[in-house]
Structure 1
Amino acid sequence: MMGIKENFKRGTLEMLILHLLKGEEMYGYQLTQEIGKRSNGTFRITEGSMYPTLYRLLDKELIADRLELVGRRRTRVYYHIEPKGLEYLDKLEKEYELTSAGIDAIMSYVPEDEE
């Protein structure tokens, strides 16, 4: 059974990837490292969960990829956000803010008779 933390991460992974790609193009492993680093280790995303999300974003045409030769024989796939991805990210961020505000309101609610 998937834990609450895993479920939450899966639901926000698209938003986090798009947010990072808004700043610069990155390759898959780099994305996993940046998410871990910027979250102070709170989110540890495996490449096994990163790539299905990247492929979903590619299929939706929210991001695009390009191959770059690294060294003599190795290639690396870099991902970058597309205009459609920027629009989707904006919607995700707004939904996240509304959801967070609603959760905060519920968690901090004190009935008037308990004040």
Structure 2
Amino acid sequence: MSVSDNLKRGTVELLLLTLLQEQDMYGYQLSQELGERSEGLFVLQEASMYTILYRLVEKGLISDRQELVGRRRTRVYYHLEPDGATYLTQIRRDYFSVNRGVLNVLRTCGRGLAEDETL
């Protein structure tokens, strides 16, 4: 797996766990919230998202439950478990640390950050 693949996967885990920290959500809802809250800058294909959700369930970081919606349709809701909350705290810390380091290098090398590259 490439560095960019690891970075993307880690970022998606961070974002999904952060959303689940607020409330239990089902897959489509997670996808929509991600798009809305990122102001359309972060679009995640549902197939990719479900792969990550299944892995988080297997690790015990989140749990899933089915709820009947209407007469025949079910939704799978995901819930952040205590181990997931601990993991979220750790990866948030790691993310912000790496982000600060990258920004420090970008700001101090060459031309620095362009106006459209500021946070």
Please give the TM-score of this superposition, normalised by the length of structure 2.
0.85
Aligned to 2:16: 17
Q: Which runs of 5+ in 2 are unaligned?
A: 111-119
TM-superposed CA distance for 1:7, in Å, is: 6.2
Q: Deviations over 1:12-71 (max 9, x none)?
A: 000100000000000001101111110011111011101000000000000001110000
Identity %: 52
Contact residue 66 and residue 78 of structure 1 kept, 8 A? yes
Q: Distance in 2 between matches of 1:21 and 1:37?
A: 15
Tell me the C-alpha RMSD between the 2 structures. Answer: 1.7
Contact residue 68 and residue 78 of structure 1 kept, 8 A? yes
Contact residue 9 and residue 43 of structure 1 kept, 8 A? no
TM-superposed CA distance for 1:100, in Å, is: 0.6
Please give the TM-score of this superposition, normalised by the length of structure 1.
0.88
The aligned runs of 1:1-115 (5 Å cut-off) are 8-109=7-108
Q: Which runs of 5+ in 1 are unaligned?
A: none
Q: Deviations over 1:59-104 (max 9, x none)?
A: 0000001110000010100001000000000000000110011011
Aligned residues: 108
